[in-house]
Amino acid sequence: MNLTAGHIANQINGTVVGDKDVKILNISKIEEGSKGSLTFLANPKYTEYIYSTNASAAIVSDDFEPTKKVTLTLIKVKDPYSSFTTILELFNNNHSDRKGISDLTVIDKSSKISDSAYIGSFSTIGKNSIIGSDCVIENQVFIGDNVKIGEGSMIYPGVKILNDTIIGKNCIIHSSCSIGSDGFGFAPNEDGTYKKIPQTGNVIIGDNVEIGSNSTIDRATLGSTIINNGVKLDNQIQIAHNVEIGENTAIAAQSGVAGSTKIGKNCMIGGQVGIIGHIKIGDNVKIQAQAGVTSNIESNSRITGTPAISYMNYNKSYVHFKNLPEIVKKIDKKD
């Protein structure tokens, strides 16, 4: 892609300081910039690189004022990180022009595939499924029966989307995810064995959802497992049967949510968090990494630890915990 600093500034409502006609061929990290590349400065700890980078242009904050001479063109914006993300999308938007169906794909005649969709090699689509306009289904994807995928969605190689799953518009599902597998439902028998409980529900995924590689979302026992609009799931996440995740909630890698738990809107959940089943987590909750959540959480809470408690209470308790050896010594001396 061959753009100029002026063209990029127009895309992000930026102001150019320097050569608006400098050509931009690619994008780079600020410390690894080279001639023809565009970078950005959002974190102050990288400020030193703005004076040494070989990049041709950088996106910076409106209030950035260099304290030394800079040799590159600056594009000033309100939010450098968000603006750079927009440009990344511009450079990465290279799949929308792919259309057609590979000769090495197996599609049941009862399914409907948009003329503007792309289906890669060795993919399989079952009965009565619908693939919307401008969808990209990469190689070796399995799509079962009665599946619906909304327009503009991207399904990466190796994804398994099982029967009755509904996926909204502009979703991204990364490689090797499993959507709609059976939930972990077993009833104990008197002899110590287990009887499998049939999982008869489905998975419903809203619009603009992104799911990281190797994540698993189980179908409901009854009803639906629901991932609402705008949810972002990292890699290697387990979402159990009948879980519901509210709009715009983000969950980091290796976290697990047990069955029938409801998570609210705009929550931020760190990596390796474990959440037990049948509880409710309110809106705007922040959960620190590796927390173990074992009870209902009110909206706007910030929690950490195992079992998870208020972030402020945890910090106060930890001060005493660190001092415990000294406290014990004092007690022993008194004895």
Active site residues: 241
What's the pLDDT at 97? 67
Cβ within 8 Å of residue 191, ≥6 positions away:
none
What is the full per-residue pLDDT of the chain (335 aa) written as tens digits? Answer: 568 999 999 999 999 999 999 999 999 999 999 999 999 999 999 999 999 999 999 999 999 999 999 999 999 999 999 999 888 888 776 545 678 999 999 999 999 999 999 999 999 999 999 999 999 999 999 999 999 999 999 999 999 999 999 999 999 999 999 999 999 999 999 999 999 999 999 999 999 999 999 999 999 999 999 999 999 999 999 999 999 999 999 999 999 999 999 999 999 999 999 999 999 999 999 999 999 999 999 999 999 888 777 877 777 777 777 777 877 777 777 65
| Topology of domain 3-92, CATH | 3.40.1390
User: What was the pLDDT predicted at 333?
Assistant: 76
**Topology alike, domains 3-92 and 100-313:** no
Residue 280 tokens read as 């409710």
Distance of CA 232 to the CA centre of its chain: 3
What does the block give as tokens for 27? 């994008």
What DSSP designation does 132 have? -
Q: Where are the domains of the chain?
A: 3-92, 100-313
pLDDT for 299 equals 97
CATH fold, domain 100-313, is UDP N-Acetylglucosamine Acyltransferase; domain 1 (2.160.10)
Strands, E, within 18-101: which ranges?
23-24, 26-27, 37-40, 57-61, 73-77, 100-101
